[in-house]
Amino acid sequence: MTKLQHKKIVIIGPAHPLRGGLAAFNERLARQLTAQGNEVSIHTFSFQYPGFMFPGKTQYADGPAPDGLHIERTVHSMNPLNWLKTGSRIRKEKPDIVIIAYWLPLMGPALGTIASIIRKNKHSRIIGLVHNLIPHEKRPGDKPFTRYFVNQCHAFITLSKEVLADIKQLTNKPVVYSPHPVYDSFGDPVPATVAKQHLGWDANKRYLLFFGFIRAYKGLDLLLEAFADRRIQAIENLELVVAGEFYEDRKKYDHLITDQVKICSDFIPNEEVKYYFSAADLIVQPYKTATQSGISQMAYHFEKPMLVTAVGGLPEIVPDGKAGYVVALDSKSIADGILRFLAQPPEVFSSFIREQKQLYSWEHFADSLGSLTDTQ
């Protein structure tokens, strides 16, 4: 693979002051590319989502901008004049590589137009960093918007084999798969006793963690139904923690919440993440659809086993019986998986998870990007 060094690189996508997994990904990637000796800047959104697309409390982080990163708020997703201005500016700067994060067809017109203008300089290599090609929640215009974006890129990198296959259905341009790297930007693990004390949790209980924004496709309803299973209700020292902001009406879940469920419904600040993962015994992802998940890579960083449903790219990342368990997409199977986990010694997955997480390095991901720069 070609190691990226001494290149001028622009990343286009969410970053501070926007919050969430995509922003964290782009910022961590920028740090890796900078550490390898490249000149890196991020062009984030001055306006990302219209109100109807964002059901959460706020799109913005409370904390200060990350140190050591060059981030500019230049992209307005809904303003075509802005697309022309942003594309023209980056075209004139002639970066060697432009990495454009793509996760939602609604962004296709903006990101595709910016890419089409940049590539007119006959120098910049446009790489689509595709988190999702087919959205979890479908809307009119998805296919033409996505095809438009794909047509403007020179090459693509995906985080799951499922998305790799989706791209190959649309184009024969170069595309590589490189697994989602470990999220190591939330601090180091702390002892479970320290984490529980910090959070005010019972030191004698075992905790399962559902972490992240709550949307229909993430299957929290199935997990809550699983926790209502009589076999789990009979376990006195077990609790489920749901840590994340509701991106839909919470009322649809309230009737499923038992005494064994703790709801932490605010956005979890970055500096608090390590405590939630360190205090948990098992990370549960009962998703109904998925490509890949940054939550899995957070679990790897904190060396925690996972229970995932057999959808999308999740089984690729969580080998059944080694990094946790893969279960069918129904509440009984989820309950069975939880009981199966609780019957095992806590350390049964530890050695495999420690070994496996070494494969998910940011250096390897950056080298995979480098392989896409070999051919103009």
What is the number of domains present in the chain? 2
Non-local CB neighbours of 41 within 8 Å, separated by 6+ positions: 9, 10, 11, 70, 71, 72
229 and 274, same domain (yes or no): yes
165 and 258, same domain (yes or no): no
Non-local CB neighbours of 313 within 8 Å, separated by 6+ positions: 159, 160, 161, 162, 163, 290, 291, 292, 293
> 265 or 243, which is more confident?
243
Which H or E run contains 75?
Answer: strand 71-76
User: Does the pLDDT at position 143 exceed 70?
Assistant: yes
CA–CA separation, 114 and 108 (whole Å): 10
> 63 or 96, which is more confident?
96
The residue among 232, 257, 261 whose CA lies nearest residue 339 is 232
- Token pair 């986990």 is found at 341
Cβ atoms of residues 121 and 34 within 8 Å: no
89 and 162, same domain (yes or no): yes
118 and 149, same domain (yes or no): yes
Cβ atoms of residues 139 and 106 within 8 Å: yes
**Which pLDDT does position 60 carry in this prediction?**
63
**17-21, 53-57, 63-67, 329-333, range with the lowest pLDDT:** 53-57
CA–CA separation, 141 and 341 (whole Å): 43
Residue 145 domain boundaries: 8-181+361-371
| Position 138 confidence tier, pLDDT thresholds 50, 70, 90 | confident
The predicted model gives 64-87 an average pLDDT of 94
158-190 pLDDT per residue, tens: 998 889 999 999 999 999 999 999 988 889 999
Tokens (6 digits) for 82: 């802005």
- The answer to the question of residue 2 being in a domain is no
User: Does the pLDDT at position 50 exceed 80?
Assistant: no
**Which pLDDT does position 259 carry in this prediction?**
86
117 and 196, same domain (yes or no): no
59 and 105, same domain (yes or no): yes
